[in-house]
Amino acid sequence: MDRMLDLDEDAFQHPTIMDDILPEDFLNDDEPLGTLWTRLDSDQIIYQPQRRKATMVGKYLKGETLGEGSYGKVKEVLDSENLCRRAVKILKKGRLRKIPNGEQNVKREISLLKRLSNKNVIQLIEVLYHEEKQKMYMIMEYCSGNLQEMLESVPEKKFPLWQAHMYFTQLIDGLEYLHSQGIVHKDIKPGNLLVTTDGTLKITDLGVAEALDYFQEDDICKTSQGSPAFQPPEIANGLDSFHGFKVDVWSSGVTLYNIITGKYPFEGDNVYRLFETIGKGVFTIPDTGDPSVEDLIRGMLTYDPVKRLKIQQIKHHNWYRKKISRTTEYVMPPPLPDSDDPLRCMTVIPYLEAFHCGEEYDEEEEYEDGEFFVEQPGPSGQGAAQQPGTPSPKLKDKKSKRKKIPVRKFTFGSCKQQ
């Protein structure tokens, strides 16, 4: 079982071979690439729905994979102490080294996230390390999906106006906070905007973000690693330095254009063509039925960064301040692959069943409350025994009279069929 899982992860270790083949790669970064490989794996190689094995990362119990980034998998986890759903970004050191600036970007992202706290910026709960496995686990808030996935789940690839407005205002609020902290995100795009179960937008992926120096007087930046389709003309034209905050305004403008029309303002067959189109800065807006949003998009996609709208100007724009009443049209985060659960219930539950009920009935052994001997790839390492819940003292006494049977490994969710 272990080896099979490893195989599955090894398959992601060489994503670079596809780099120059897929046009989406530069349009939408790395997500489609990952998804492609996932499907291949789960359909043909190892997909076995019956097999569940409970694994822990520290106090967190692992569930299903939520998504796939360039650095590694994102899985759902359950905090066994307060039963809160979380997401874990699993980073493999070996894989990070193969990505240009990989380790450096991750370090920067962690240091930035640690000092940020805003409703519309993803919260990093904690970071766990596993030296032996050379893995790093970033525990984050749980989100049910990103805007890109949601857009792709509907044929017209766009949101109803009220929903786009709801997300856009939150994006600007989050961005205002980031800028107030002297941080330029540099990679705003639907794929980096997550949505929680209650529809709150969270800006994520600060891997290529830049924290301005405290004593820097302006927002001049010199490097950019963001997704090409969302880059402003000054970067497309290869300028040495540019205004950082205005880069984020431009990418937010492209994002707004994208979630409202379902299209991109600038397109090209490859990065060079794309940059050429962006460099000219000429685009058209399909009819949206709302002239004020078109005006806002034009303001945000102004060629000259100096004349481009500032965050404060966006917040004073009529469309931003407008109240758009909710219609029945609503794009939900799509169910996970291989699942048809639109409510996005906990995927940890089958693992929990394996954890609590696994095997001991096969062996006709009595269930033991407080004792969990589980292979534990936590930060403490050594696969030590883990006690996720402590039984009440009263109970401990009573139980200790009985024979203690440690439940060693859980592989099958056998006791309760779904």
Partner 1 sequence: MSLMQCYCSSKKSVPEADIEEPLYRKPRSRRESPSWSSSSASDRASTSSASNYNMVDFRPRPEDYQIFTVIGHACNEQATISLAKHIPSGTHITIRRINLEECDIDFGILQHEILASKQFAHSNILPLYSAFIHNKELWAVMPLMGYGSCRDLVCHAQFTEGLPELAIAFILRDVLQALEYIHAKGFIHRGIRASHILVSANGQVRLSGMRYMLDTIVGGAKEHVVHDYPTTAIKSLHWMAPEILEQNMAGYDNKSDIYSIGITACELANGCVPFADMPLTLMLLEKMSGTTPRLLDNTTVPDYIMEENQNMEGGTDSGILRDSEGNSRGDTIKYQRIFSSHFHEFVESCLKRDPTERPTATDLLSHSFFKQVKKKSTEAYLPNLLIPVQPLTDATKLPKDDSAVGSLVDRLKDTDLGEQWSF
Q: Does residue 205 have an active-site annotation? A: no
For residue 344, state whether it binds partner 1 (rule: CB under 8 A). Answer: yes
Pairing of strands 85-92, 135-141: antiparallel
What tokens appear for 239 in the block? 């300028």
d(CA 9, CA 7): 5
Q: Please give the size of the binding site for partner 1, defined by CB under 8 A.
A: 42
User: 143 to each of 302, 316, 317, 350, how far by Cα in Å?
Assistant: 33, 29, 29, 20
d(CA 337, CA 382): 33
For residue 197, state whether it binds partner 1 (rule: CB under 8 A). Answer: yes
CB 348 within 8 Å of CB 407: no
CB 184 within 8 Å of CB 247: yes
For residue 284, state whether it binds partner 1 (rule: CB under 8 A). Answer: no
**Using CB under 8 A as the criterion, what x/- string covers residues 288-327 for binding partner 1?**
----------------------------------------
Pick from 126, 152, 369, 375: which binds partner 1 (CB under 8 A)?
369
**Using CB under 8 A as the criterion, what x/- string covers residues 139-178 for binding partner 1?**
---x-x----------------------------------
Integer-rounded Cα Rg, in Å, for the chain is 24
Instruction: Using the rule CB under 8 A, give the single segment among 148-156, 166-174, 208-216, 350-358 that binds partner 1.
Output: 350-358
Q: What share of the chain is helix, strand, coil (3-state, %, to 5)?
A: 35, 15, 50
Strand order of the β-sheet with 56-57 is 56-57, 60-68, 73-79, 85-92, 135-141, 124-130
Closer CB to partner 1, residue 54 or residue 254?
Answer: 54
Q: Which parts are annotated binding residues?
A: 89
For residue 35, state whether it binds partner 1 (rule: CB under 8 A). Answer: no
For residue 196, state whether it binds partner 1 (rule: CB under 8 A). Answer: yes
Least Cβ distance, residue 62 to partner 1 (angstroms)? 12
Positions annotated as catalytic residues are 187
In the complex, the residues that contact partner 1 under the rule CB under 8 A are 61, 78-85, 142, 144, 196-198, 332-333, 342-346, 349, 352-353, 355-357, 361, 367, 369-370, 372, 388-392, 394-395, 398, 415-416
